[in-house]
Structure 1
Amino acid sequence: MQIAKDLLTTTLPSITPDTSLECVFSYYEELNILSLPVIKNDKYIGMVMEQDFFDLDLSEGVKSVKLPLSNEEVSVLPTTHLYDCLRIVDEFDVEIIPVVDKENKYHGTIIVKDMMDEVARMHADQIEGSVVALRIEAIHYSLEDLSRWVESNNVKILSAFVEVDTNDAKMVIVTLKLNTMNVEAVLATFERFSMNVIFSSAFAEGKDEGRDRLDNLMRYLEL
């Protein structure tokens, strides 16, 4: 299980409210990142982001301008799960996530790009298996039922991802990673219970009907 404290970077510096604009922009250029955490007395107080500088009045020189702060509410606890960190990224559209404790003491920062690399690594390193995606009415979605049907074929669900269908808010797309390449029996079980399978990696490998299912999945996910 990955939590926030496991994702901290050691390369991104923090700055203080007294850090000069020249220094901030130097960090932006040197580190190829456009956000930095601002710390005062070991407490996180916000970020400085490149976009926050666009409306500043620099007519009297950069030394007369205070650092603009934003996203003061954006942070996670050291024990926050990786998936909740991803939710923060989606909600606030940030490229860094400060990590603080309950007293708001600053522990470090997660760089979102590095976190996404870790997500990709985690999924790539999973046990070999197949992916199956279903389109289900949200009101009828039950992971317990899906697990029972899958396990009735001596197959295990390694991971499950649920998202709202962008074409119909009453529907969800459920993507399952299974621990076997042979999913025909599972698919037959889903069919018996009138589950709408829109993608299976078994179909995608050479079967004509799989192309239609793959196209359907990509359309639903807008990939």
Structure 2
Amino acid sequence: MLAKELISEVVPSLKTSDSGLDALNWMEVFRVSHLPIVNNRAFLGLISDVDIYDFNKAEEALGNHALSYARPFVFEHQHIFDVIELASRLKLTVVPVVDKEENYLGLITQSDLLQTFAGLIAAHTEGGIIELELMPRDYSLAEIARIVEDADAKILSLYVSQPVDADKLCIAIKLNRIDVGPVLNAFDRYDYSVKATYVGDNAYDDTVKKNYDALMRYLNM
């Protein structure tokens, strides 16, 4: 999934001649805290609501405002993981997208990013989750996949994390089946350490779905 495929067709950009009040009004409409400033196709920077409040002259043109974020952006060909990294690191509610000449193409909203990522990790698909804990030298994706498939299951998504100051990796595996017993037995036979399991039932799945839907409604208000 590339950045250019995530560009919003709804949220507008601003011009230097727009006022801080104009920017705040658009931010409120689209429930974001940042908007890009663009003249013609030139991406000039990203302004936040905090920038406008700190300047304390909201009626002034945006060209007179100082920007906390000079020119944060991703190129159109960058992967969604790069978009997530930038949004997370800078705590952005929108991520500008540019072409190779750094001409502005559009932006990606936080809510669109969340919905797309949820699809990538199969968040909406029914299935159990197994978390393994192992040393980095023992990690083999090929072996983990073989063990899971030999237990008559498929990996829908998998991600690896390493907590700060921890020696071991945490491997979270989303499976295509709720009954994870055969897979757990298989990992036990190969001496894998299972840190936790999360097995959905109807009540649990309904709660998760309701919470997710409520979050989506809030982000899209």
Aligned position for 1:221 = none
Indicate how the Cα distance of structure 1 residues 197 and 67 shifts in structure 2: closer, same or farther if over 3 A, else same.
same
For residues 177-215 of structure 1, the C-alpha deviation after alignment (integer angstroms, 9 at most, x for no partner) is: 12223322221221122211122234x76xxxxxxxxxx
Indicate how the Cα distance of structure 1 residues 155 and 64 shifts in structure 2: closer, same or farther if over 3 A, else same.
closer
For residues 34-62 of structure 1, the C-alpha deviation after alignment (integer angstroms, 9 at most, x for no partner) is: 2111113302121010112343264xx73
TM-score, with normalisation over the residues of structure 2? 0.78
Q: Do the aligned partners of 1:46 and 1:70 also contact (CA within 8 Å) in 2?
A: no
Aligned position for 2:156 = 158
Q: Do the aligned partners of 2:20 and 2:52 also contact (CA within 8 Å) in 1?
A: no
Letter in 2 for 1:130: G
For residues 52-95 of structure 1, the C-alpha deviation after alignment (integer angstroms, 9 at most, x for no partner) is: 2343264xx73597022233342112232222221222211111
Aligned position for 1:31 = 30
1:184 aligns with 2:181: yes
Q: Do the aligned partners of 2:158 and 2:173 also contact (CA within 8 Å) in 1?
A: yes
Aligned position for 1:210 = none
Q: Which has the larger radius of gyration?
A: 1
TM-score, with normalisation over the residues of structure 1? 0.78
- Work out the CA distance in 1 between the residues paired with 2:174 and 2:20: 48
User: Which 5+ residue runs of structure 2 have no aligned equivalent?
Assistant: 202-221
User: Which 5+ residue runs of structure 1 have no aligned equivalent?
Assistant: 206-223
For residues 5-50 of structure 1, the C-alpha deviation after alignment (integer angstroms, 9 at most, x for no partner) is: 2221122111122222232222223333221111133021210101
- Work out the CA distance in 1 between the residues paired with 2:45 and 2:63: 17
- Work out the CA distance in 2 between the residues paired with 1:63 and 1:154: 62
Aligned position for 2:215 = none
Q: Do the aligned partners of 1:17 and 1:67 also contact (CA within 8 Å) in 2?
A: no
Corresponding residue to 1:200 among 172, 175, 197: 197
- Work out the CA distance in 2 between the residues paired with 1:53 and 1:163: 37
3-state SS of the aligned residue for 1:5? helix
3-state SS of the aligned residue for 2:75? coil
- Work out the CA distance in 2 between the residues paired with 1:101 and 1:169: 39
- Work out the CA distance in 2 between the residues paired with 1:79 and 1:63: 33
Aligned position for 2:211 = none
- Work out the CA distance in 1 between the residues paired with 2:144 and 2:52: 50
Corresponding residue to 1:94 among 92, 95, 104: 92
Aligned position for 1:48 = 47
CA RMSD of aligned residues (A): 2.6
Q: Do the aligned partners of 2:20 and 2:62 also contact (CA within 8 Å) in 1?
A: no
The alignment-based identity, stated in percent, is 28
